[in-house]
Each structure stands twice: as structure tokens, then as C-alpha cells.
Structure 1
Amino acid sequence: MTTTLSGTAPPTVENLLALAPSSASLLAPIAVLLAALYVWGAMRLWSQRRRWSILRTISFLLGCVLLFLTGGLGLNTYGSLSVAALVFQQITLMTVVTPLLIVGSPGRLLLRATPHRGLGVFALRVAHAGLRSRLARAVLHPVVAILVAAALYLGLYLTDLVSVIIRLPAGHELLLLTFLISGTIAAVPLWSSDPLPRTPSYAARLIDVIAEIQIHAVFGLILLLSSTPLFVAFTNPTIGWPIDPLRDQAIAGTLAWTYAELPLLIVLIVTLSRWRSRDLTLADRRRDQDDAEREEYNAYLATLNQHDR
């Protein structure tokens, strides 16, 4: 690995994908802890001959792997030096990692696998209290997901607040944790099958997805079409790097325009499919109910005819 005068090697594919334990984010140990707790819960259910989905387990563990790689690869080293690297981390955390974790239904596993004694009782009480709290109900409102996306893409970057935060001693780490937490809040109403204090309608989910797609598109186009660097913290090119700030910025815009949209398009398709299936099911039930009422009425008329005879 060849270093530049800045002390950081150029962002080649090899350097981006290399494990970098010395500069790893807190995301890496968090991923290991989450995976260990989830596997413990799943193994506990299986050892008791109780069902737990293999597909959910795979989804959650895949999310943990991506979370670990986002914070543990060389990519993390460049997150405070390259806006493209930072945006890639943000998109991965907010639109890829969090859906995979949520599809794993960790909340349901917590309620089913936690022992009903000792510290387990306390954990279950906290979980139930959280589910029933007004704060949880407010946070899971569909409008909040739209506001989160607008704040962390348009607000954070177009005001150049990102430059202020990234220059703080732990600014990059703060941003990554914010992306993970905010991404979870935004993704739960769209992806979760766990018991929630608020379940959004399909119409609300559809509006949410379309709004987020538009936010990503606007953000990406602004970065792609800008003829001047937008971010003070990423303006001065690192000596020895093969890319300039405008190219770096354009790469970030391309990621927002493409990579960020794919998971949302999947949600859009799934939401429309489930909405249609629900409407068909309701129509079938209504038809069955009408048929039953019609048969009952015909039987009543037949009874009247018998009495008249």
C-alpha cells in the first residue's frame, strides 16, 4: 500500500476493500454484538424445538456482515476524506443494512427468546414499555421517515453541515451512527413485520417510498450537475489521489441516483403487490358474504312460499 503526502493511500479498489482494523468504526463491534445476540436467540428457540425462520436469520446476519464491512473495511478510512465514500456508507447503512436487519424480525425474536426470569424479565418489560410508548408511536409516523431522508440528504449536504460535522474529532463516527439509527427509524414502517405501536397503511407507505425516491433523485442530480465543489471539507484534493473533488462529488451523485434507489424500488413493488393482494382478499370475502346473505334470503323466501301453500 503506497501512502501519499497526506499519510493516506489513494482510494484504489484494493485499499477500499482491505480490512482496516486500526481505523475501524464502532459499527464493526456493534455488528458482531448484534449477530451474537441474534444467533443466541435463534439457537435458544431451536433447542426448545420452537420454530424460527431460517430466512429471517440469514437476512439479519447478512445485514450484520454488511454493517461490519461498512465500518471495518478500508472504505471507512476514506469516509472523512471523500464525499463519495461517505455517501456510499450512508446509502449502505440507511437503505441496505437496516432493511436486512429489520426483515430479520429482531423484535419478535427478542420477545420469544428472552427468558422470563432474572434480567430477562427486566428486558421484556423495557421492550413492552417501548412498544407502548407515545415516543415510539410518534417516531414511527410515516412523515418522520420522509423528514429523516430530507434532513440527512438535502439538509446535511446542501447546507454543507456535513463539513462542520466531519471536521469534529469524532465527526465521521457520529455521522455513521446517525445514519444507522435514522435509517432504522425510516425503514421500520416500510419493512417490519414485528408488532408495532403504529402500522402505516399501504397508501402511506406508497407516499413514503415515492417521496424518498424523489429526495434521492434531487440530491443525486444536484451533485451530478454542479460545476463547483459544494463541500468545504472535501474541496482540497489529497496529494497523490487520482480523482479531483468535482469527480468525487459526481460519483456521490451517481450513487444517490442509482444505488440508493434500488432498495426503494423493491419496497415500491412489494407494497403495490401486497396492497393488491389485500384488496383481492377483501373483495373475495365481500363476495362470499354477499353470496351467504343471498342464500339466506332465498331460503327465507322459500320458507314463505311453503307457508303460503
Structure 2
Amino acid sequence: MDHGGHGMHMDLPPFTLGRGLAVTGGDPYFAAGCALALVLYGWAVLRLRRRGDAWAVGRTVSFALGVLTIAATMCTRLDDYGMVMFSVHMVQHMILSMLSPILLLLGAPVTLALRALPTAGRGRTGPRELLVKLLHSRYVRVVSHPAFTIPLFVASLYALYFSPLFDSLMRHSLGHTAMMVHFLAVGLLFFWPIMGVDPGPHRPGYVMRMLELFAGMPFHAFFGIAVMMASEPLVSTFEHPAASLGIDPLDDQTAAGGIAWAFSEIPSVVVLIALLIQWYTSEQRQARRKDRAADRDGDAELVAYNAYLASLESRGRG
């Protein structure tokens, strides 16, 4: 098995939290991507601030936390252990597909880009115009539709781990990197229309968003249970762990299934709370708009009534 881009050694000592989070290993591609994401987001926020526009601190914090979860998952020794331990690999998978996307999307990066990028001018096409064109494209309408995102979310679990595809990808460091990029992309596509923070072609009501959220979660839970209940190794990659790790492959696989099952619950609760808050805030805004409209209508009726009385009075005098 080639692990050449990760600087991985098969005689890794048993994993401990302190050692695992030491920045001595990890994926260089993800490291570069995380750094670039933080720089671009920070540039956009500064651009808004310099021209006097506000940007919520909470969004910036959320996006930064999302990038940091990716960095902690892929740019540390955790990534090295994820190459040889099923349970650690499953932690990576769940964070990248279930936690990082939620935090990144709460940071509203698309909205920020649309506000920060300059317009190219009449008849010209710049980065902002290309982004708007992409958001309105048929491709984005298809890949962000629940009929696509939910099956993709489910298939990314079952088709990967219950087929030879996983072992094929894990033979090379680039295959492992591509798989992790896929996990992150699938999570972003799945949660994007559900979170509803950034603009997109599909923005269903809050009840439909909750239904979309819970449509995929049972399959996720069943997957975790299936891995936990398996009586033999599902993938050959983790079938023969190094003796220095001191683990039993079946016990480690059971732990991986438990991690997958637990992660089907926790992010769902976080997203549900976020949706309820958004729903309540939206209802409050609509109520205030209706009150203002009623006040304007009432004022208009009062003005009209006063004008009517004045006209009657002028007629009486005439």
C-alpha cells in the first residue's frame, strides 16, 4: 500500500489525543486549501468593513471554525492514523461530511462573495458575474436538488464501504485525498439547501427543509449499525493493523460503526436548532413588515378620511 504523500509509517505508536493533534503529519493539499479559504474569507470581510458595510462576527467565527475542523482532521497526525485505523478514518469522514459543512455554510461564504466581489461593469464578465451565472446554471439546479443530494449522501456511505472502491482509493495517498474531498463536497451539497443561508436555486419552506434533513439520517444510522454488527472486516485496508497500534481490527471496526451512528444524531440536532431559529426570526420579520404595512395603510386611510371631512366642510361653507 502506497502512503507516499503523507509521510506515514506503519510502526505508528498507539493513538492518543495529544499526539494525534500534534501538527507533524497530514495532507498538504488540504493544508493549502484551508489556508487559501481563510485568506479569501478574511479579504472579503475586510473589503466590506473598509467600505462601511457590516458583516456578522458570528458568521466569520462559524466559517473559521469550519476551516479549523477540516485542518484538525486532515492537516495533523489524525490523518496519518486515519490511514491505518478504521475508527479514526470514520471520525475524519463524519467530521468532513457532517460537521465542517454545517459550520462553513453558517458562515455564508457565497453571500459574502457576492457582496465583496466588485461588479465588472456593463457588457463585461468578472468573478462576481461568473458566480451569479453558476448559481443560476442548470448544473447547480441539478446537483443541489434533493432528488440528487439525498441519494448521493446515502450512496457515499454504502457504495463506498460495501464495495472494492474503498480499498482501491486507499492504495494511494491521492485516492485518499480525493475521497476526503468527496466527503466534504457531498456534505456541502446536502446541507446547502437545508441551511438556506446562502442563495441557491432550491429554497423550500422550513418544514420541507426539515423533511429533507431527516430523509437522509435514517440511512446514515442504519449504515452505522451495519458496520457495528459486521462479524468480519468490511474492507481489507484495515484488516491487518500494525502490531504497534495494539488494536483488534474487528473491535476497531465496531468502534467505527458506533462513530458513524452517533454522528447521524448530533449534527441533525444542531441543524434542526438552526432551522428553528431561522424560522422564528423569519416569522418575526414578516410580522414586523405586516405591522408597518398596516400602520401605513391606517395612516393613509386617516389622511383620506380627513380629506373627505375637509371636502364636506368646504362644500357646506360654499
How far 1:260 moved relative to its partner? 3.8
Q: Deviations over 1:52-95 (max 9, x none)?
A: 11111111111111111111111100222112111111111111
Q: Deviations over 1:227-283 (max 9, x none)?
A: 211111111121221211111111111111113421112223443565577689989
- Partners of 1:160 and 1:230 within 8 A in 2: no
How far 1:200 moved relative to its partner? 2.4
Q: Deviations over 1:169-208 (max 9, x none)?
A: 5221111111111211111111231221221233432222
Q: Deviations over 1:114-157 (max 9, x none)?
A: 13359x95101110110110111111112222112211112211
How far 1:96 moved relative to its partner? 0.9
Q: Which amino acid aligns with 2:154?
A: A
- Partners of 2:11 and 2:242 within 8 A in 1: no
**Cα gap change, 1:126/1:280 in structure 2, threshold over 3 Å: closer, same or farther?**
closer
- Partners of 1:141 and 1:198 within 8 A in 2: yes
- Partners of 2:34 and 2:70 within 8 A in 1: yes
Aligned to 1:225: 229
Query: How many residues in Structure 1 have an aligned counterpart in Structure 2?
Result: 285
Aligned to 1:137: 141
Report the TM-score when normalising by structure 2.
0.81
Partner Cα separation in structure 2 for residue 25 and residue 277 of structure 1:
41
Give the % identical residues: 31
For 1:163, which of 136, 144, 167 is the aligned residue?
167
Matched, 1:251 2:262: no
Aligned to 1:60: 63
Q: Which amino acid aligns with 1:144?
A: F
- Partners of 1:5 and 1:239 within 8 A in 2: no
Matched, 1:174 2:175: no
**Cα gap change, 1:279/1:58 in structure 2, threshold over 3 Å: closer, same or farther?**
closer
Q: CA RMSD in A?
A: 2.8
Aligned to 2:313: none
Matched, 1:185 2:169: no
Deviates more, 1:207-216 or 1:106-115: 207-216
- Partners of 1:84 and 1:252 within 8 A in 2: yes
Report the TM-score when normalising by structure 1.
0.83
Q: Helix, strand or coil for the counterpart of 1:115?
A: coil
How far 1:25 moved relative to its partner? 4.1
For 2:210, which of 203, 206, 210 is the aligned residue?
206
Partner Cα separation in structure 2 for residue 65 and residue 272 of structure 1:
26
Q: Which amino acid aligns with 1:226?
A: A
**Cα gap change, 1:127/1:254 in structure 2, threshold over 3 Å: closer, same or farther?**
same
Partner Cα separation in structure 2 for residue 201 and residue 20 of structure 1:
46
Partner Cα separation in structure 2 for residue 277 and residue 51 of structure 1:
19
Q: Which amino acid aligns with 1:240?
A: S
Partner Cα separation in structure 2 for residue 70 and residue 252 of structure 1:
15
**Cα gap change, 1:278/1:123 in structure 2, threshold over 3 Å: closer, same or farther?**
closer
Q: Helix, strand or coil for the counterpart of 1:235?
A: coil
Partner Cα separation in structure 2 for residue 5 and residue 270 of structure 1:
42
Q: Which amino acid aligns with 1:70?
A: T
Aligned to 1:39: 42
Could you list the runs of 5+ residues in structure 2 that have no partner in the other structure? Answer: 1-7, 302-318
Partner Cα separation in structure 2 for residue 37 and residue 277 of structure 1:
29
Partner Cα separation in structure 1 for residue 117 and residue 277 of structure 2:
34
- Partners of 1:132 and 1:197 within 8 A in 2: yes
Partner Cα separation in structure 2 for residue 280 and residue 271 of structure 1:
14
Partner Cα separation in structure 2 for residue 273 and residue 62 of structure 1:
20
Matched, 1:80 2:83: yes
Q: Which amino acid aligns with 2:219?
A: I
- Partners of 1:42 and 1:52 within 8 A in 2: yes
For 1:267, which of 267, 271, 287 is the aligned residue?
271
Q: Which amino acid aligns with 1:76?
A: D
Matched, 1:194 2:203: no
